[in-house]
Amino acid sequence: MADEITKSFARIAGIIETARENTFQKVNEELIRMYWNVGEFLSGESQSASFGDAYIDSVADFIQQEFPGIRGFTRRGLYRMKRFYEIYKDDEFVTTLLTQVSWSNHLAIISKAKTEEERHFYLMLSIKERYTARELQRQIDSAYYERYMLSKDKIKPETVVKEGTVPFLDTYVLDFLTLPKNYKEKDLKKAILNNLKDFILEVGRDFTFIDEEYKVEVGNRDFFIDLLFFHRGLSCLVAFELKIGQFEPEYVSKMDFYLEALDRQCRKENENPSVGVILCALKDDEVVEYSLSRTLSPTMVSEYTLQLPDKKILRKKLRELSEIAEIRMNE
């Protein structure tokens, strides 16, 4: 009887939560449309020679008189609405996406993203991952776009869900970890587990945590995988091995062994082959390339950093890669 009551409570909670989410989405859609229409109006009026620089100040004062206490319609807020409209007015790609993103996230994107492609990226990512304003700001600050784009040419085809989608990054930013001086691998693992929500935000919300020190038995011996996840998009198990030093070639054979054990003992019939991620503090790309060249296992060697990256350096690398790709296309 108690179980039936608990289940009924859960169903009621689900109904309420769904209604709340739908209500929030409808309110957000109307807000974004209002900001768009106000921005369109201000953009059009600003083209008139009869209006000076003080026009928007006057509009802000008028709105406060007509609608006392209304938020967001300060001089700064009105300029943001005008810019919001002017950035996207000729961008057909985003017209159906704008109302799916919160105003706070829109402000973060238009203030920080430097190119149309980067804006599109963060709009799509915000919708897919359902980021809060804090979460999106963190991803922008950590140069997620640049790291994603730099990872595209390094990832193996078998670890891609579909064309254009990269489920793993070449570099992960773990700035949210608090680690002791001269930390060890067990300290790194403990810190990740203590900050699992932030770690999954960084690696992607398609990851579901299964266990730490996951045991696989082969022969008469027990072996332990540092962290085991399930990836919903790939529909497969993902083993993480943590290394606090530089990548070494022998790490690949150990990961091959773990993936073989997972596929033979744990993988279900409807799941894809297991994937491995070797997460190191440092790596030499040429050594990684040689090490992975003959392995058949879907393994990614990624680097982690405990500090926010220099976005200028990453953008420079991205420009260089784009220039090289363009030269090769024209040859």
What pLDDT is recorded for position 163?
Answer: 44
Confidence of residue 324 (pLDDT cuts 50, 70, 90): low
Residues 6+ positions from 284 with CB-CB distance below 8 Å:
246, 247
Q: How confident is the model at residue 165 (pLDDT cuts 50, 70, 90)?
A: low
What integer is the mean pLDDT of 42-71?
82
Per-residue model confidence as pLDDT tens digits over 226-248? 999 999 989 999 999 999 999 99
pLDDT, position 2: 59
| Digit-coded pLDDT (tens) for 72-131 | 999 999 999 999 999 999 998 888 899 999 999 999 999 999 899 999 999 999 999 999
- pLDDT category at 329 given cuts 50, 70, 90 is low
Fold of 150-315: Trna Endonuclease; Chain: A, domain 1 (3.40.1350)
230/207 Cα distance (integer angstroms): 6
Least confident of 99-113, 158-172, 193-207: 158-172
Cα–Cα distance, 209 to 197 (Å, whole number):
10
- Mean residue pLDDT across the chain: 88
Angstrom distance (rounded) from CA 150 to CA 318: 6
Q: Which of 243, 163, 176, 164 is nearest to 203 (CA)?
A: 176
Number of H helices, E strands in the chain: 12, 6
Summarised one tens digit per residue, pLDDT across range 4-45 is 766 666 776 766 676 676 676 788 999 999 999 999 999 988
Contact 210, 228 (CB under 8 A): yes
| Residue range(s) of every CATH 3.40.1350.10 domain in the chain | 150-315
pTM: 0.83
pLDDT, position 76: 93
Amino acid 108: pLDDT: 97
**Per-residue pLDDT at 1 exceeds 60:** no
Tell me the pLDDT tens digit for each residue of 174-185: 999 999 999 999
Q: What percent of the chain has pLDDT over 90?
A: 65
Percent of residues, the chain, with pLDDT higher than 70: 86
Q: What SS3 class is residue 125?
A: helix
**What local confidence, expressed as pLDDT, does residue 330 receive?**
63
For the cut 90, the answer to whether the pLDDT of residue 162 exceeds it is no
What pLDDT, in 10s, does the model give residues 293-314?
A: 988 888 999 999 999 989 888 8
